Amino acid sequence: MMNFGLDETQRDLRELAADLLAEDEPERRLREAGLLAVCLPEEAGGAGLGPVEMAVVLREVGARAASVPALPALAASLFLARHGTRDQQERPATLALREPGRALADPPATTADRTDDGWVLTGRKTGVPYLESDVLVTADAGVFLVARPESSPEFASTGEPAATVVLDRTPAERVAGPESVAALRQVLTAAVAAQASGVLAGALELTTGYVKTRRQFGRALAEFQAVTMQVADVYIAGRALDVAMWSAAWRLGEGLPAEEDLALAAFHTGEAFRALYTCQHLHGGLGLDVTYPLHRYFAHAKHLSHLLGGQDAQLDLIGALA
């Protein structure tokens, strides 16, 4: 039976991540402390931790709506820790899973062909985050590592760097076979849900602080029943996402079937985005002010929901799993 409490290592990791994210240049601080590589084996420079610890770090990243490459770095390193060679584990990588006009759960349209020298890939990937090094690419023959492929910049709602990657018989190194594509999607889904959980928690904290101090008609907004009911709705959305996300991460770590839990977590990631509209409504015009931090939480929630294809896609998946 799952224990939803964190152990000592996980609590220490959470506190360290929170402290580093509160400092200037948080990305550099996270890298220096090794938090972007905690899922790698110790022999490859990591700490040998798993999906729950990945979720602990990403929830803290989300709680601050921090623009750092923690999600692609941790998800890629967790996958490589499970499926890659020592050399592959030691190479920093980001993720390239999405393809134009295709849902995340669809089989990859990118094709892999074997040559005398190895493998070459042909296809196109969109929304590749923080393209600074190697890229984990899903294809019909498995998951591959590609060294800094041809790309063009994209616009991301969060302001974070992203790119479209073009593969035209591009040399690649295979990490694992076709069965590993689903495993990489599972890791990505758990990572996105964990960060979304933090985003909603951070937005809720910001909103409750605001309604306690903002006064209308001689009373604090928090004293109005309609306001407290809306805050309660946001809280419930956050708790539902937490339960599904922690359950999915734990099951992944234990090697148990996690498809249903991950699908539920992905659905509630979309609910988190919907809850951000309530947070904005309770802030009034201030919620749309780009000098006020709530807009960053909204942008991150929207981006994370889109990464998983939205709620309709998750409902279809849940129905297929039932």
pLDDT tens digits for the chain (322 residues)? 666 789 999 999 999 999 999 999 999 999 999 999 999 999 999 999 999 999 999 999 999 999 999 999 999 999 999 999 999 999 999 999 999 888 888 889 999 999 999 999 999 999 999 998 899 999 999 999 999 888 999 988 899 999 999 999 999 999 999 999 999 999 999 999 999 999 999 999 999 999 998 888 888 888 889 999 999 999 999 999 999 999 999 999 999 999 999 999 999 999 999 999 999 999 988 888 888 999 999 999 999 998 888 777 777 777 877 7
Query: Under a CB-based contact definition with an 8 Å cutoff, are residues 165 and 150 in contact?
Result: yes
Question: What is the pTM for the complete model shown?
Answer: 0.94
DSSP for 72-124 reads HHHHHHHHHHHH--HHHHTS-EEEE---TT--TTSPP--EEEEETTEEEEEEE
d(CA 271, CA 256): 25
Other C-beta atoms closer than 10 Å to the C-beta of 253 total 18
Predicted pLDDT of residue 210: 92
- Amino acid code (one letter) for 212: K
Predicted pLDDT of residue 289: 85
Using N-to-C axis directions, what is the helix angle for 51-63 and 225-254, rounded to 10°?
150
Q: Which of 51, 5, 82 is nearest to 250 (CA)?
A: 51
Q: Which of 51, 103, 27 is nearest to 307 (CA)?
A: 103
**What is the 8-class DSSP label of residue 221?**
G
Predicted pLDDT of residue 1: 60
Query: Under a CB-based contact definition with an 8 Å cutoff, are residues 151 and 128 in contact?
Result: yes
